[in-house]
Structure formats: C-alpha cells, structure tokens
Structure 1
Amino acid sequence: MSTAHVHDVLVIGGGNGGISAAARLRRRGCLDVGLIEPSDRHVYKPLQHYVGTGLASPDELVRPQSSLIPDGVVWHRTAAVAIDPVRRSVRCADGSEVRGRDIVLAPGARIDWSRLPGAEQALADGTAITTFVDAELERSRTRIDAMAGGTAIFQVHAQPASGLETAFKPLFIACDTWRAAGTLDRIRVTLVHEAARLHPVAAIEQEIRRHLDDYGVEVRLGTRITSIDGDAVTLRGPAGEAVEQADLVGLHPPYAAPRLIADSGLDGEGTGGFAAVDPETLRHPQHPRIWVVGDAGDLGDARTGGALRQQVKLVVENIRLARAGQPLERYDGYTVAPIATARRSLSFGEYDRSLQVRRSLPVPDEIRSSPLWHVLDRFGLPQVYWHRILKGRL
C-alpha cells in the first residue's frame, strides 16, 4: 500500500455535521481538509416529515453530494471501515488509507429495523409508515390521506434517536389532516411513548400535552412497540405485554451506532456502540485529537440539527485552541425541539443540558405553537441549511 495522505483535518461523514464542519474549517483557514463519504446524494432530513405528510415536494429534499462538497476539500468517495485512533489513520472500503492530524467523527447514526421485529414487513405491506426514511415518504403520505376510520398508533421511543422531538410531527400533522377531512372523530389515535414523560422540559411537555388533548389522542407513557405482525401490534408497558390491532402504525425507527465506532474501539462503555466523548469539549476522552459531533456521539438528548450547528462551531474552534495550547470552549448541551402541532403551526422549544429553556429568537415565547414558527421551520430553515450552514457561514 502506498503511503497514506495526511490531511491537516480529516472529517468522517458527509451529512449535516461533516459537510458543515469541512466548510467551516476551510473558512477558518484550514488549508488541507479531507472528507470521507460514500453517498452521492445528500438529504435534508428535517424536511422528510413535511414530504411524508404531503406538505412539501420530494424535489426539495435531496441534492447531489458533489454540489455540496466545499471548495478545496478533498472528497474521498468511499466508506470508512476502521480507524486506528493512535495513528489517526482510517482504512476505507476501497482499500485506501487516509490519515489526519485531527479527525472529526461525524458519521451519524443508522436505522436498524432488526431491533423491531416485523417492522420491515409492515412497512412493505403498508400497515406501518415512517417519515424518517426518504424511500417511505410517498407511501406515508398516501396512507395518511387514505385513512378514514379505524385505529392509528404512533410511536416515540427514547434515546438514542435522531431528532427525537420531530417524531411528534407525523402524529400531529396526521391528526390535523384528518380533522380537516372530517374523519378524526372516526379514528382512534394512540401515542405510545417509551419515556416516563412526554418531554423532560416541563414547558415543552405542557405544550405537547395541550395539543394531544385537543386532538383526543390517547397517551401511553412507559410503553413501547416490541413487534408487529400484520395488523397485530405487540405493546409492552407498565401493565405488561398486550397485543392490539391497528390499521396504521407510525414508526419512529430504532437507531444504532455506526459499526465503525465500536470496531475502532472508540465507543464508550454502556453506550451501545456510540462514540465516547467529553460532552463539554466534544473531544474523545482517550484520544484527544479525535473530535465527535452529531448523532454518533454519546451526547444524550443533543441529537438535532440545531444542536449540531453549535457542536460544529465549537469543535472547529477547539481544534485551533488545542493546537495553540489554550483552554477549550465548552458546549452546554444546547438542542432544539421543533414540534409541528398542526399542518401550519409549530412549537420551537430550545433547551440545554440542564433542561433550562433557551431563547435565541427575539420573542417572548417560542414554545407556544405558532404559524410563524411553521414558516421558519418549513420554508426558512431549509434555505438556511443549503446556503449557509452547509457552507460554514452559520
């Protein structure tokens, strides 16, 4: 094997975190940035829920990855297979080896349907829908529109989950769609939520509950779907296990860590394979020149695009500070909970690791659902994403 090229900074992953980190590094003067990513298409994931419920067009969702690679960044169009954290060397699926003086680990999380028996067959049969997978979005929209009566069960599970609060979006948008069609009174809607509370922040929880009550949704906390067999859904909750019939099941997919992390010995004990990381500096605790952003890291609830934007800014700055021997900046666990409560209204809650409400917008109450926040989430943020975040400008 030829000698591996050593980039000044090597980024693994070409999603939101990876592309924006690479772009920001270049804008901050890093002359040699490498990016490892095999996919030729880039999906703006928050828009999936709007496409899957008929509120956005599929052509707004995806752009060619080649059009988003920042100028001057070397794109290694292959998958990372294993990382030698001591040498900071990455073995790739195409047989190549790439190294970095620093590595930014941003491979995201992966959906693992094997953790929910029967889910894939239920999706294929049309009993189940999900707005978290772009290949399922058209089917989801069609099934929601066609539902005129019966029983619908929507699922929200605990961490790890990518964009946890967005799992409420398909439930609320579907309910509003059915209300507008005059069919909501003929549909029994149940929310199955794995956590003991609807949300750990009291003000956000209260807003979610207000809209669930308005739509007449039955809520089962501490309960999860364990399997699906046709229209038979097995639920496990405080009272034990029970089987219920459902005409429609809205699935929040089970997420797992990329195999790359555990295979490279970078996972934290008890994390299920997610990357060990100092939650404040975003540095790997054993390998100080490996940095972690996004869903692949063991960062608790901070698995949203808003959180990722803060993490990327901090990691890029901390690489500079670490090289200069200066104290590192600290991440406070900021994240955001954009919850669509209707087809054209949204709650935009922000909070940090201490579960304190944060406010970045110049208004008295972002948590109270408003059409203004819907316009921001549906129309404003996609443009900000494509033209500013992925270009390292925000």
Structure 2
Amino acid sequence: MAPLVAAVSSPRARLFAYFLRLGTQQAVPLQLHTGACCTAKNHYEVLVLGGGSGGITMATRMKRKVGAENVAIVEPSERHFYQPIWTLVGAGAKQLSLSGRPTVSVIPSGVEWIQDRVAELNPDKNCIRTDNGKEISYRYLIIALGIQLDYEKIKGLPEGFAYPKIGSNYSVKTVEKTWKALQDFKEGNAIFTFPNTPVKCAGAPQKIMYLSEAYFRKVFLFGSNFQRLNISFQNTTKEPNQDSTELTAEGQRKIGNICYCSYEMLHVTPPMSSPDVLKTSPVADSAGWVDVDKETLQHKKYPNVFGIGDCTNLPTSKTAAAVAAQSGILDRTISLIMKNQKPTKKYDGYTSCPLVTGYNSVILAEFDYRAEPLETFPFDQSKERLSMYLMKADMMPFLYWNIMLRGYWGGPAFFRKLFHLGMS
C-alpha cells in the first residue's frame, strides 16, 4: 500500500489531478425557475437527496456553481461507505474499517447537512418533506437516493444472519460474516445467490464466488478435500433454513412445490428495489425508479429535477463507475439548464465492473448502453491481470475518496481517447 500512496503523491499524480480540474465547469449565473413553491422552513438553490457517492459528488460540483450556502444534502446516515471494496472485505483481503468514514467528513465544506430521511417529494410545488416534518423548498433538485436492500423478502432473513454459515457482502452489518463463513468452511456445498431483481454491482455475487474458490484452493492445497466441495450459483433464493442448513432454491431437489439443497456456506445477494419513498412519488416511473432522460439525466416531466445513480431508470449497470461518468454529464446538463440552454453532452451508458477472479487477478469490464465494450486501456482487458487487481484494490479507493467525491472525476472518457489516439 505504501508504494502506491507514494506514487499517488508524486508530481505526476498532482499534475493528473490538475488536468482533471480543468474539465470542471465554472460558476454560472442562476436563472429563476418559474414553478410554484410551497411555504417551506428552508429554501436552497440546489437540494440533493442522498449522501452516497452520487449525492456527495454532485453537491461538491454544485457548490462550485452556486456557492456552498445555497446547497444542502438530506442524508440520515452517520457514516459514508465505499461499498465496492466490500467484495474484498468479504474475502478477507481488506479490512472493513477501510471502507467507511464519518459522513460529516465527506460533506463539502459549507454545504448544509440535513441529517434526516426524505419522507415525501412534491415536485409540483418544488419542495420535499422529511421524517421530522421539515419542509424544504428548492430551485433545482438532484435525486441520489440509491437502491434499497430487501432482505426481508427472503423468508428467514434478516434474522437468519445470526446463523454462522450465512453472510452477505451487500451490507456493512453482514459482510464480515461472509469472511467468517469462508474461514469456517471445511467441505460440502458453498452456494452464492443472485435475485431476479435489479441489483447494484451485478458482478459482485460472482466476484465473491470466484474469490471463495481461490481461497478454498489455497487452503486445501489442491488436495482430496477440494474434491468434496461443490460451488454453485443460484438465480433465486426463496428461504434459508438455519436449523437444517437447507436452502429453498430453484433447480435443486424438489419436494412438492419446493426445491431444496443443503449448504455449508451461503452468500446471499438480496432482492433490491427503488427506495420506498420513490415508489409512489410523482418523479417515479411505473417500476418506481426516477424517470430521467437516459442521455441528459434530466427528469422527463419536471425540468428542474435530475437523477443520478442507482435510484434512476437508466438502462445500465448500477455501479460507482457509472455514477462517476454520470456526474460529469449531469454537471454539464445542469450548467446549461441554469442558463436556459438545451443540454448537449450525452451520457452513453458507460459503466465498469472490475470482475475479481482471484486474490491477484481482475478482468476489467467496461461497456455502454448497448453492452458494447468501451475499454479504456490500449490492451486486451478481457484477460485476468494483476495490474487491474491493484487498481481495483488500491487505486480506485484512493480516486474515490480524494478525487471523485471532490467533484474532479467524471469517468475515464478523456483517458480512453488519449490512449486510443482519439479514435474511441
């Protein structure tokens, strides 16, 4: 870790950060939005809902446009987490403590943090209401509420996590249980589930499976014990049974209308959905996701409302890399909207999934809306590489905390063109 940090602190890295800053927009005069506004206790030029990666990034960018005193973030959580690293935490390759920081430490300086939960959105009157009954009006609204984990939709969860053989890399409360279950595993079935709903980082359920296999091979040293392992991937999970270590799943031993298989380790990827507050909101589409234009991220009905990240209906994978690319596009979109101009910069659906296949190998998958490769580096990224693992494990967290959340990272498009001589 030390050599990497030293490299990042080098003059070359500082020059890299400087060029990133050159791509940011300058502050522009704010135009009055003519929609109706309810009587509110507080009013902000830009109100950001959600203090995750998209919310913090956009609040930082908006601070530079309209001033910190004119921006607020509504976020209830005390801690902010870099969740992509939880794949490695669940496999014992990273410590959980490295993934989180106090929320107050990532809120842009001078921006107001409203530590409360969003209870209702009223875009027709340009205001929202919080759980504490506080009404807040806005001129521009950015919705970055993320995605909701629905463990309770699986019978036996979340209480089943008290059982030592069940873990999940999708929650700060259960990710270390994955590593404990992995260490305790001796022989039998190791099962990794995938729900039939949208999920954030759709590659994560496979990553922990690959890492588990790598761990088992290392521990069992390719001996006879390894022959007694059975690693399988289930598309759905119906019910974990803690007492009999049986999993109700599709495609296994069937008794009546129920299928069973036994397990000695179970990693659960929960069903996911849009946050409840959005499901019945005027800003949502029929499925409950924020209904935005896929190229500009502007709401299709409310021109002063915008969405970013996992809570939107953008037809691309829900990853931190996608949020980074979206933040740059949304920054430019809002800049032009504020000047009563039509957005010109279009989001191409860029997203990235560093597919961890072992403790020293990653396949860096990058693609667009059409699921066509959109690779950054001038080499074959379909091959497993140690360099890509180091980027995933060490470089990306540094970039996230120090560049992206500070509003200076809008994805690798510039470097892609540079590496491919402007041809991609």
Q: Please confirm whether the aligned pair reaches a TM-score higher than 0.5, indicating the same fold.
A: yes
Secondary structure in 2 aligned to 1:98?
A: strand
Is 2:398 the partner of 1:383?
Answer: yes
Secondary structure in 1 aligned to 2:379?
A: coil
Displacement after TM superposition at 1:324 (Å): 2.1
Instruction: Summarize the Cα distance change of 1:40–1:121 in structure 2 as closer, same or farther, 3 Å threshold.
Output: closer
Once residues 56 and 64 of structure 1 are traced to their aligned partners in structure 2, the CA distance between those partners, rounded to angstroms, is: 19
Contact (CA 8 Å) 1:176, 1:342: kept in 2 or not?
Answer: yes
Task: Find the counterpart in structure 1 of residue 370 from structure 2.
Answer: 354
Contact (CA 8 Å) 2:146, 2:310: kept in 1 or not?
Answer: yes
Of 181, 186, 206, the residue aligned with 1:148 is: 186
Once residues 327 and 355 of structure 1 are traced to their aligned partners in structure 2, the CA distance between those partners, rounded to angstroms, is: 28
Is 2:319 the partner of 1:304?
Answer: yes
Displacement after TM superposition at 1:302 (Å): 2.6
Task: Find the counterpart in structure 2 of residue 204 from structure 1.
Answer: none
Is 2:96 the partner of 1:51?
Answer: no
Of 145, 149, 157, the residue aligned with 1:111 is: 149
Secondary structure in 2 aligned to 1:164?
A: coil
Of 75, 83, 88, the residue aligned with 1:37 is: 75
Task: Find the counterpart in structure 2 of residue 14 from structure 1.
Answer: 51
- Greater shift, 376-385 or 135-144, is seen at 135-144
Secondary structure in 1 aligned to 2:215?
A: helix
Task: Find the counterpart in structure 1 of residue 269 from structure 2.
Answer: 252
| 1:331-352, Cα deviation, whole Å (9 max, x unpaired) | 1111111110011211110000
- Greater shift, 244-253 or 179-188, is seen at 179-188
Contact (CA 8 Å) 1:82, 1:263: kept in 2 or not?
Answer: no
Secondary structure in 1 aligned to 2:48?
A: strand
- Greater shift, 26-35 or 109-118, is seen at 26-35
Once residues 229 and 348 of structure 1 are traced to their aligned partners in structure 2, the CA distance between those partners, rounded to angstroms, is: 36
Secondary structure in 1 aligned to 2:381?
A: coil
| 1:263-320, Cα deviation, whole Å (9 max, x unpaired) | 3222211x1x222222222122111211011111112333000000111111121111
Q: Percent identity?
A: 25
Secondary structure in 1 aligned to 2:198?
A: coil
Instruction: Look up the equivalent residue of 2:334 and give its one-letter code.
Output: I
TM-score (norm. length: structure 1): 0.87
Is 2:228 the partner of 1:228?
Answer: no
- Greater shift, 86-95 or 102-111, is seen at 86-95
Displacement after TM superposition at 1:90 (Å): 1.0
Contact (CA 8 Å) 1:88, 1:100: kept in 2 or not?
Answer: yes
Instruction: Look up the equivalent residue of 1:256 and give its one-letter code.
Output: S
Once residues 79 and 317 of structure 1 are traced to their aligned partners in structure 2, the CA distance between those partners, rounded to angstroms, is: 28
Contact (CA 8 Å) 2:365, 2:373: kept in 1 or not?
Answer: yes
Of 202, 205, 213, the residue aligned with 1:164 is: 202
Task: Find the counterpart in structure 1 of residue 135 from structure 2.
Answer: 97
Task: Find the counterpart in structure 2 of residue 278 from structure 1.
Answer: 293
Once residues 184 and 286 of structure 1 are traced to their aligned partners in structure 2, the CA distance between those partners, rounded to angstroms, is: 57
Once residues 339 and 251 of structure 2 are traced to their aligned partners in structure 1, the CA distance between those partners, rounded to angstroms, is: 52
Task: Find the counterpart in structure 1 of residue 233 from structure 2.
Answer: 191
Unaligned runs of 5+ in 1: 195-223
Once residues 323 and 384 of structure 1 are traced to their aligned partners in structure 2, the CA distance between those partners, rounded to angstroms, is: 29
Task: Find the counterpart in structure 2 of residue 341 from structure 1.
Answer: 357
Contact (CA 8 Å) 1:160, 1:300: kept in 2 or not?
Answer: no
Tell me how many residue pairs correspond in the alignment.
361
Task: Find the counterpart in structure 2 of residue 324 from structure 1.
Answer: 339
| 1:156-203, Cα deviation, whole Å (9 max, x unpaired) | 2344101111221111111100000115332111112x3xxxxxxxxx
Unaligned runs of 5+ in 2: 1-37, 410-424
| 1:52-86, Cα deviation, whole Å (9 max, x unpaired) | 21101122111000111101211111111111111
Once residues 267 and 151 of structure 2 are traced to their aligned partners in structure 1, the CA distance between those partners, rounded to angstroms, is: 14
Task: Find the counterpart in structure 2 of residue 213 from structure 1.
Answer: none
Once residues 219 and 363 of structure 2 are traced to their aligned partners in structure 1, the CA distance between those partners, rounded to angstroms, is: 23
Once residues 57 and 323 of structure 1 are traced to their aligned partners in structure 2, the CA distance between those partners, rounded to angstroms, is: 43
Off by >6 Å, runs of 4+ in structure 1: none
Once residues 186 and 250 of structure 2 are traced to their aligned partners in structure 1, the CA distance between those partners, rounded to angstroms, is: 27
Contact (CA 8 Å) 2:167, 2:176: kept in 1 or not?
Answer: no
Contact (CA 8 Å) 1:341, 1:369: kept in 2 or not?
Answer: yes
Once residues 105 and 338 of structure 2 are traced to their aligned partners in structure 1, the CA distance between those partners, rounded to angstroms, is: 31
Once residues 126 and 40 of structure 2 are traced to their aligned partners in structure 1, the CA distance between those partners, rounded to angstroms, is: 14
Secondary structure in 2 aligned to 1:374?
A: helix
What's the RMSD between the two structures over aligned residues?
Answer: 1.9
Once residues 186 and 362 of structure 2 are traced to their aligned partners in structure 1, the CA distance between those partners, rounded to angstroms, is: 25
Instruction: Summarize the Cα distance change of 1:45–1:71 in structure 2 as closer, same or farther, 3 Å threshold.
Output: same
Once residues 226 and 297 of structure 2 are traced to their aligned partners in structure 1, the CA distance between those partners, rounded to angstroms, is: 45
Secondary structure in 1 aligned to 2:237?
A: strand
